Every structure is written in C-alpha cells, then in structure tokens.
Amino acid sequence: MIALLLRDIRLAVRAGGGFGLALAFFLIVTTLVPFGVGPQNATLALIAPGILWLGALLACLLSLDRIFATDFEDGSLDLLATAPIPLEGVVAIKALAHWLTTGLPLTLVAPFLGVLLNLPGPGYYWITLTLAFGTPALSMIGAFGAALTVGLKRGGLLMSILVLPLYVPTLIFGAETVRRGTEGLATGTPLALLGGITLGAVALLPFAAAAALRVNLR
Amino acid sequence: MSLTVTDLSCARGGVPVLEGVSFTLEPGQALELRGPNGSGKTTLLRTLAGLQSALDGGIEAPDGAIAYAGHADGLKATLSVAENLRFWAAIYGGGAIDAALAAFDLRGLEERPAGNLSAGQKRRLGLARLLVTGRAIWMLDEPVVSLDTASVALFAAALKTHLAGGGSAVIATHVDLDIGAGTLDVSAFRAAPAQGGAFDEAFL
C-alpha cells in the first residue's frame, strides 16, 4: 500500500505527471478574476471565498483523470486488480495520493492567492481550514467518477458531468463557512456538514469506486 | 497448488465466447493455449486470473496463487527499470529484484527510464515482474511478442526454472517454446451463438 502511495506521488511530481497543472490553473483563475470583475476592493472581498473555492474545485477536477486512466492504458490496473491488495485499498490509496499532490498544495497556496482577491482578514484562516476539510472529499468523489469512466476513450467530458453535481454540496458548505467566518457569524453548522461530507465520501466511496472498476475491467 | 477448471464458460463484451472448457494443471506442468485470433484465449486467461467472472462452471485454485501478465506490461514510462520492478516486488510483499533482473538480462539498464526501453526490453521487464510476484500459477497472454530469439530462449529458461520449482503456467502463444507443455486448442470450445437479447452488461 505504501509502495503504491509512493509510486503515485513520484509519478505525479515527475515530468508529465500533472502536479503543477492544478496549481497553475488555480493561480490563473484567481489572477484573472480581478481583471474580469474590476478592481473594486469591496466587490472582490465579497466574492473572494467563492472564487477561491471554485478555483480549487476546478483545479482538482482538471487532474482527476490521471487517477486511473494512465494505469488503465498501460495495463497496470489489470495487474493491480490481480495483486494481493484489495481493490478498495487501491482506490483509497490512489485518492490519497491525488489529495497529497493536488488538494494539499491547493490548500497551502490558497491564502497567498487570497491576497490577490482582497480576502478579508479572518478569511485566511477559514479558507485554509475549509479547503483542508473539503478537498479530501473532492479527491475521493473524483476517484469515484474516474473509476466509473475509466474504460472510455476520452472520458474526461463524461467524468466532469458526472462529478460536478457531486461536488456541489462540498462547494456550498465550504464557501458558506468562509463567508460566515469572515463576517464573524457562527460557522459550526456548515463546517460540520463539510466535514461530514468528507468523512462519508472517504468511508463509502472506495467501495463504490472499486465496484465500478471491477465492472470496467471485465 | 493445482488449478482445476471444470466446464467453464466465459464471455467477452456480453457475448459468450467459450463453453465447456475443462482441464487440470498440476504443479510443474504448463499448458499452451492455441487457436486463431479471436478464438477466446485472452478471455479465458482473464477469466482464470479473476479479472472477469465466469458465465458458468468452476475454477479451483488456491487463494493468491495466480499471477497474470497481459498484452500490456504495466510499466510506468517515467520510472526507471529498477523502480518499476521494485514497486511490483513491494506490492507482492517480496524483496529482491536482482534475480529477476539477471534472469531477463536487464542488468545495466536498472537506472534507465522504462519509457526509453525498446519494445523487446519492455516486454522482458514485464516478464521479470512475474518472478518478483513469487506466485505459483502464471497466466501469460502472448508473452513472447516482440522478443528476439535470444530473449525467447531467456524466457523459456525462466519458465523451465519456474516449472521445475513446482510452479505452473497457462500460456496463450503462437510460438513453440519447447518446454514440454501440453496444448489446448480453444477453438474446440467455441460457444454457440447467444439466443435472444438478454444483454444487461451495460447496466451492471
């Protein structure tokens, strides 16, 4: 299992692995938004939490197909399915590797990109906290979507359409927590729901994704 | 570690391909699957390896005895030869990769990225993976494709060592490997065309 985690991280950070792609996309979105909506500080501060969450979500979506598609193409997935580790474990580890190379870096750079959007003071704390809570769900739900579409050539479009509605609750509660946090309101409820979605996804989706993979490998 | 197959039927893409396949493979034996393209050799091997479920019939093999090697070698182009092999060794709980590298003449290539290998070298690395799995029953799908004569001899030697050590193998091949294997012509088991339209594959 640890060997698989290390291999996936190594593949992601080596040439062509797509490690920088999500970060670059996140940077581009947050840099371009002020040009699009204009430089009014008040407007930017109002939309900053939503833009940061949206940027992180789309950046995550961009890198989903590397979870299973490359392994499917070069035959590794067949071999992993016949290996002595359970397929549910393979899915969970690959989702974890995706989070470590996408969700975690996005979480860490979000406060710096918040400066570009004039994020209000308390927002830096809340955006980091909610992204840390929410991005594991994005990786896990994404792994499920990638498992569903793994056998399809150029399945990226279908996967995006399948995954986006599943991302909506995470986006709503994530952005809502940040908005409430910056306005000094109570954040307990949306934060608990955000964490609940993440825990539910991590607990259930490895089984669903493994079942989808088994069907697609037949 | 014997493999017993009784009255096995298998399908590809929802269409039955083979039916009534029965054989027993004892330790030390190898079985060559013969038959024209599209006769179901790959489907049979994937079913035996557990990648797809059988339509009917039984496969009796000890748990965790089967290693599968398909058309694709499962290599990562950006990892080196040694990294690729070490990864599979770790997955199968094994350790040393030196013997596998030596058996397929991959010494001196350890630090080369797998993407820079020739087709034959990639195939040899894919086959070396079988040695680090430490599993007894090999399912090999066209193992000698793109290998030169010397490499085919290396593979035959590795296979003989495996058989002599109590292992066994089912091999789909068109090349005579001269390892004293029995042959099974799968075209004799061609399934009758399916009746009716009970096609639910897409919804499972």
For chain A, the residue count is: 218
Q: How many inter-chain contacts (A to B, CB under 8 Å) are there? A: 71
Delimit the domains of chain B by residue range: 28-52+65-185
Q: Any bridge partners for residue B80, and if so which? A: B113
**Topology of the domain covering B28-52+65-185:** Rossmann fold (3.40.50)
**Averaged pLDDT for residues A1-22:** 82
**Averaged pLDDT for residues A157-174:** 91
**What pLDDT score was predicted for residue A106?**
93
Q: Do A76 and B53 touch (CB under 8 A)?
A: no
Q: Which percentage of chain B shows pLDDT scores above 70?
A: 94
**Residue A113: closest CA among A98, A132, A128, A135:** A128
Q: Which pLDDT band holds residue B194 (cuts at 50, 70, 90)?
A: low
Q: Which percentage of chain A shows pLDDT scores above 70?
A: 99
State chain A's mean pLDDT as an integer: 89
**Averaged pLDDT for residues B101-107:** 85
**What pLDDT score was predicted for residue B201?**
52
Question: Best of B68, B122, B138 to disrupt the A interface by mutation (most A CBs within 10 Å)?
Answer: B68
Which chain A positions have a beta carbon within 8 Å of B86's beta carbon?
3
**What pLDDT score was predicted for residue B204?**
47
**Residue A72: closest CA among A142, A159, A153, A1:** A153
> Does any CB of chain B come closer than 8 Å to the CB of residue A76?
yes
**Chain A, window 153-172: residues with a beta carbon less than 8 angstroms from a chain B beta carbon:** none
**pLDDT over 80 (residue B1):** no
For the stretch B61-80, pLDDT in tens is 888 888 888 888 888 888 88
> Does any CB of chain B come closer than 8 Å to the CB of residue A215?
yes
**What pLDDT score was predicted for residue B166?**
87
**pLDDT over 70 (residue A61):** yes
Q: Do A217 and B67 touch (CB under 8 A)?
A: no
> Does any CB of chain B come closer than 8 Å to the CB of residue A74?
yes
| DSSP run (H or E) holding A110 | helix A104-116
User: Helix, strand or coil for residue A156?
Assistant: helix
**Averaged pLDDT for residues B170-182:** 82
**pLDDT over 70 (residue B199):** no
Which chain B positions have a beta carbon within 8 Å of A73's beta carbon?
72
Q: Which percentage of chain B shows pLDDT scores above 90?
A: 0
**What pLDDT score was predicted for residue A21?**
87
What is the nearest CA distance from B197 to chain A, expressed in angstroms?
19
**What pLDDT score was predicted for residue B76?**
87
**Averaged pLDDT for residues A10-18:** 78
B74 → closest Cβ in A4, A79, A84? A79
**Residue A131: closest CA among A50, A208, A188:** A50
Report the chain B residue with the minimal C-alpha distance to residue A15. B78
Amino acid at B108: G
Q: Which comes out higher in pLDDT, residue A132 or B199?
A: A132
**What pLDDT score was predicted for residue A147?**
92
For the stretch A90-139, pLDDT in tens is 999 999 999 999 999 999 999 999 888 888 888 899 999 999 999 999 99
Q: Which pLDDT band holds residue B198 (cuts at 50, 70, 90)?
A: low
B92 → closest Cβ in A73, A75, A83? A83
Query: Residue A60's Cα: distance from chain center in Å?
Result: 4
A82 → closest Cβ in B68, B75, B79? B68
> Does any CB of chain B come closer than 8 Å to the CB of residue A183?
no
Q: Which comes out higher in pLDDT, residue B193 or B126?
A: B126
Pairwise CA distance, residues B129 & B134, whole Å: 9
Q: Do A218 and B93 touch (CB under 8 A)?
A: no
A163 and A145 Cβ atoms separated by less than 8 Å: yes
Report the chain B residue with the minimal C-alpha distance to residue A14. B78
Q: Which pLDDT band holds residue A205 (cuts at 50, 70, 90)?
A: very high
**pLDDT over 60 (residue B123):** yes
State chain B's mean pLDDT as an integer: 84
**What pLDDT score was predicted for residue B202?**
52
**What pLDDT score was predicted for residue A130?**
94
**pLDDT over 60 (residue A38):** yes
**DSSP β-ladder status, B30-34 and B168-172:** parallel
**Averaged pLDDT for residues B155-160:** 89
